[in-house]
Structure 1
Amino acid sequence: MEVYTDIYKFRKVIKQLKYQNRSIALVPTMGNIHRAHFELIRNGRKHADIVIVSIFVNPMQFERTDDFKNYPRTLEDDLKKLNSEKVNLVFTPTLHTIYPSGIDKHTFVKVPGISDILEGALRPGHFLGVTTVVNKLFNIVQPDIACFGQKDFQQLAIIQKMTTDLSMDIRIISIPTVREANGLAISSRNCLLTETQTQCAPVLANTMRWIATLIRNGRNDYHSIIKNANTKLQANGLKPTEIFICDATTFQTITKQTTKAVILMSAFLGRIRLIDNQIVNLLN
């Protein structure tokens, strides 16, 4: 496994791989590698000759300075894990490499509409930061495919739209959410939870499954369902910030034409924000 920080040296290697007609899969990460990342890597290996993992904690997508500072950074351990997974190349750019003139002066990429609703409305600028850095990584690596987890459901849809709108010759592979045995969606931030919080955290997924069951059983009083779900979360020590039930394709209000709904949820447990989602088939 080779590790590169310098963009120019890294690009030389990419050009050599392209010259050899080797197909490339990119797995963009912010580090603190865990089991869910392994699933992305293994799926990338199924579809390409070379698997490249990028590690970069992107400040542009953090709306809270404390969240950015506290985000777990475990590069040495990450590299050991990636080596054990037989990753071919790792790209670990510095902040200056990605934003040489500073974030405020950097060209950005925005996907209109879908970036400004739901979680985008709750976290202004977050998705702009995501699409900007992913676009830059795509330009650097020139992958044939890129793997993303479905845990970040709206983000995945935004990246798919960006790829289509900009006519990128990159296939986006979406990987189902990887969960702990108790149902909690695996996330890099989970390691920041205390032992007590870890025991409370599965309530988010449990509540989500409860909502899904109600919808499958024909309930469409979504406002009431969301209100009751908020009460459940609060009673278990979570502070809900987002519960949306919307069309899984358009992210708009569910209509008679909607075939699949998506439940999008987030809640704070202490200072840690947990997110989750679930698709619900509305067809009988």
Structure 2
Amino acid sequence: MLVFTNKSKIGAHISSLKQDGESIGFVPTMGALHQGHLSLVKEGLANNSRVVVSIFVNPTQFDNPDDLAKYPRTLEEDVALLKTVSDKIIVYAPTVDDIYDGNTKAQHFSFDGLEFEMEGKFRAGHFDGVGTIVKRLFEIVKPENAYFGEKDFQQLAIIKKLVTKYNLPVTIIGCDIFRESSGLAMSSRNVRLKPDYKKAAPFIYQTLKEAKIKFGTKSADKTTKWVEQQFKNHDLLQLEYFIIADVDTLKTVKRKNKTNTYRAFIAVYADDIRLIDNIALN
């Protein structure tokens, strides 16, 4: 398996592949790969000649320095895992300097308000960092298609907006949330959960599923208050937010409209590990 750490070298290799008529799928990751990542890679392999997987812990999207420092970095294990999937995978594992050329700062973006909802209210500057790294990676890898999981649904919406606003020649494909057998959404952070918290964490998805049922007959406000009460009664999990939002604007719903599509979003702390999830409501 080819592993590149330099943008010029991977760019030259991809250009050569494209000259031979090969198509490029792309799965950007921050490493600590799991089956959720592999599901994106497999989707890419089903529809492209090659798939590039980037492994890069991007400093400009972390608002918490401790979270950045603790984020797992497991490049050797990640490459070994990808080797079990296909020999059509190319890894790009750049250094910070290779990406940022010595100027590790996020570009400022406007995503037409999407960046101020949900995660944007709790993680200052996060989506500027996301937009900066994704745009940069698209410019380096030049994929035809790029694959993102719906666990980070707001990020997916913002990347689609980025592609539209900057006329980037890539098709963005959202893929279903990949879950552990317990229902817990797959995340690189899950490996850091202490045993008691790992056992408790599936409560998040159980609550989302019950909230979906309640939303069928109750208002968004009543459903939200019910979820908040469930977490007040929980010994280990601390709710940061639960929001029911319009999927197009990501704005919190005040009154249901039969013509609109809604999704519930949640962020929960399990000790010091922050977990997010979401579910389609209609």
Under a length normalisation based on structure 1, what TM-score does the superposition of the two structures give? 0.94
Q: Is the 8 A contact 1:26 1:146 kept in 2?
A: yes
Matched residue type, 2:89: N
- Residue 232 in structure 1 maps to residue 233 in structure 2: no
The match for 1:92 is 93
Give the whole-Å Cα distance in 2 for the aligned partners of 1:71 and 1:186. Answer: 15
After TM superposition, give the deviation of residue 235 of structure 1 in Å: 2.3
Equivalent position amino acid for 2:238 in 1: K
Separation in 2 of the partners of 1:83 and 1:187? 20
| Secondary structure, aligned partner of 1:186 | coil
Q: CA deviation at 1:258?
A: 3.9
Instruction: Report if aligned partners of 1:180, 1:186 keep a CA contact under 8 Å in 2.
Output: yes
Does residue 271 (structure 1) correspond to residue 269 (structure 2)? The answer is: no
Q: CA deviation at 1:249?
A: 1.8
User: 1:263 is matched by which residue type in structure 2?
Assistant: A
Q: Aligned partners of 1:266 and 1:107: how far apart in 2? A: 26
The CA distance in 2 between the partners of 1:193 and 1:130, in whole Å, is: 25
Which 4+ stretches in 1 moved above 6 angstroms? none
Equivalent positions of 1:80-159 (< 5 A) are 80-86=80-86, 87-104=88-105, 107-159=107-159
Partners of 2:77 and 2:109 in 1: how far apart?
32
Per the alignment, residue 242 of structure 2 pairs with 243
Task: Please report how far the alpha carbon of residue 121 of structure 1 lies from its aligned counterpart in structure 2 after TM superposition.
Answer: 1.5
Question: 1: distance between equivalents of 2:21 and 2:229?
Answer: 55
Output the CA distance in 1 between the equivalents of 2:259 and 2:129: 30
- Letter aligned with residue 264 of structure 1: F
Residue 190 of structure 1 corresponds to which residue in structure 2?
Answer: 190
Where in structure 2 are the equivalents of 1:1-284 lying within 5 Å? 1-86=1-86, 87-104=88-105, 107-216=107-216, 218-220=217-219, 222-236=220-234, 237-252=236-251, 253=253, 254-256=255-257, 258-281=259-282
Q: What is the rounded CA distance, in whole Å, between the counterparts of 2:248 and 2:47 in structure 1?
A: 25
Give the distance between the partners of 2:185 and 2:140, measured in 1 at CA: 30
Contact 2:107–2:128 (Cα < 8 Å) also in 1: no
2:247, 2:261 within 8 Å by CA — same for their partners in 1?
Answer: yes
Deviations 1:262-284 (A, max 9, x none): 00001100000010000111xxx
Letter in 1 for 2:167: S
Deviation at 1:172, TM superposition (A): 0.8
Gaps of 5+ in 1: none
Q: Distance in 2 between matches of 1:107 and 1:150?
A: 24
For residues 109-153 of structure 1, what are the alpha-carbon distances to aligned partners after superposition, in whole Å with 9 as ceiling and x for unaligned? 442311112221111111111111000000000000000000001
Length, aligned pairs only: 278
RMSD: 1.4
CA offsets per residue over residues 19-65 of structure 1, 9 Å max, x none? Answer: 11210000000000100011000000111101110000011111100
Contact 1:119 1:242 in 2 (8 A): no
Is the 8 Å Cα contact of residues 111 and 131 (structure 1) preserved in structure 2?
no
Amino acid of the structure 2 residue aligned with 1:131: G
Determine helix, strand or coil for the equivalent of 1:190. helix
Assess if the C-alpha contact under 8 Å between 1:203 and 1:233 holds in 2: no
Query: Which amino acid is the alignment partner of residue 247 of structure 1?
Result: D
Q: Which amino acid aligns with 1:11?
A: G
Q: Aligned residues: percent identity?
A: 36
The separation in 2 between residues aligned to 1:96 and 1:181, in whole angstroms, is 39
Helix, strand or coil at the partner of 1:256: coil
Q: How many Å separate the matches in 2 of 1:14 and 1:108?
A: 29
Q: d(CA) in 2 for partners of 1:16 and 1:78?
A: 25
SS in 2 for 1:240: strand
> Residue type matched to 1:119 in 2?
E
Which whole-Å CA distance do the structure 1 matches of 2:233 and 2:68 have between them? 29
Cα distance between partner residues in 2 of 1:260 and 1:14: 39
Which SS does the other structure have where 1:103 is aligned? coil
For residue 100 of structure 1, report the CA deviation from its aligned partner. 1.5
